Amino acid sequence: MPEIPDLEAIRHFLAPRLIGNTLLTAEARIPWIVRTGASGLESLAGHQFAPFSRHGKFLLFATDDDRLLVVNAMLTGRFQWAEPADRKRPSTALILTFADGHELRYSDARRMGRWYLVSAADLGVVSQFAELGPDAMAVDEETFVARLKRHPGQIKSTLTNQKFIAGIGNAYADEILWAAGLHPHRRRATMNEEDLRRLYRATRETIEWALPILRAEVAAGLDQRNEEWRDHLRVHRKADQPCPRCGHPIRSQVRGGSETDYCLHCQPLAL
């Protein structure tokens, strides 16, 4: 699932290409992905995108008539910046065609993504948006620590809880906890103040470390793979490989289809 570094890289790539580029047509090949109605998407024709933003795992494309095209790519949603002659993926769900001749395509193999076209005042109709906590890159340390103290359970589950803070998923939670030296199954209730503040610093530092790597990855074009960009990660999906910090093998657990990777030497479990 795209997380903050993935979405920031996509936003960084698309912004200079979309802003001020008149949208000619909007085609919803899988109409029900547009939860506010596919026919409404057609009303974007003739308009342009203004500077757009991200909150958590949502991209918010602002339009020149003060609307928002809100996208939650979910698990398998992928973007393509392509020319009309380029091969379309079988799972292409939406195509936005622009005056410069390019298309912004959205594909979704599992058709889980959600698109909404709303006014800024109507963000409440966007599923789950009103329940989001502060963005992980916008929250300050005191707010982070105060909010964290409300959650006594396992720290990885808390870190990926979008109501706590928004934007962190399974992969970067592993990376953040490794950077902080905290076991993913450790309970927050066993942590002291320094643990919590170290986790905040690790959150910011990990995301800031990943951002230029992913921006470089997409500089020549949005990736055509169906996977997220994960090759650069240090522990996630690195089962049995040596820990980059201590050399001990990375351990891996899979529960409910979700993989958790950590170094037991660097991240001891304190019950």
pLDDT in tens, 181-238: 999 999 999 999 999 999 999 999 999 999 999 999 998 888 555 557 899 999 999 9
**pLDDT on residue 229:** 86
Q: What is the CATH number of domain 4-128?
A: 3.20.190.10
**pLDDT on residue 183:** 98
pLDDT digits (tens, 9 = 90+) for 136-184: 999 999 999 999 999 999 999 999 999 999 999 999 999 999 999 999 9
pLDDT digits (tens, 9 = 90+) for 39-56: 899 999 999 999 999 999
- What the block records as the tokens of 89 is 């993926």
| Closest of 99, 132, 104 to residue 41, by C-alpha | 104
**pLDDT on residue 222:** 81
Can you state the angle between helices 4-18 and 193-217, rounded to 10 degrees? 40
**pLDDT on residue 259:** 95
Q: Are strands 77-82 and 58-62 parallel, antiparallel or unpaired?
A: unpaired
Reduced to 3 states, what is the DSSP secondary structure of residue 198? helix
Q: Tell me what the pLDDT averaged over the chain comes to.
A: 94
Q: Is the pLDDT of residue 82 over 70?
A: yes
Say if residues 256 and 157 touch (Cβ distance below 8 Å).
Answer: no
Q: Please name the helix (run of DSSP H) or strand (run of DSSP E) that holds residue 23, with its range, or none.
A: strand 23-28
Class assignment of domain 141-262? mainly alpha
**pLDDT on residue 245:** 97
Boundaries of every domain in the chain = 4-128, 141-262
| Residues pairing with 249 in the sheet | 242
**pLDDT on residue 256:** 81
| Residues pairing with 259 in the sheet | 254
Q: Are strands 251-255 and 114-119 parallel, antiparallel or unpaired?
A: unpaired
Residue 224 sits at φ, ψ, to 5 deg, of -90, -10
Radius of gyration from C-alpha coordinates of the chain: 20
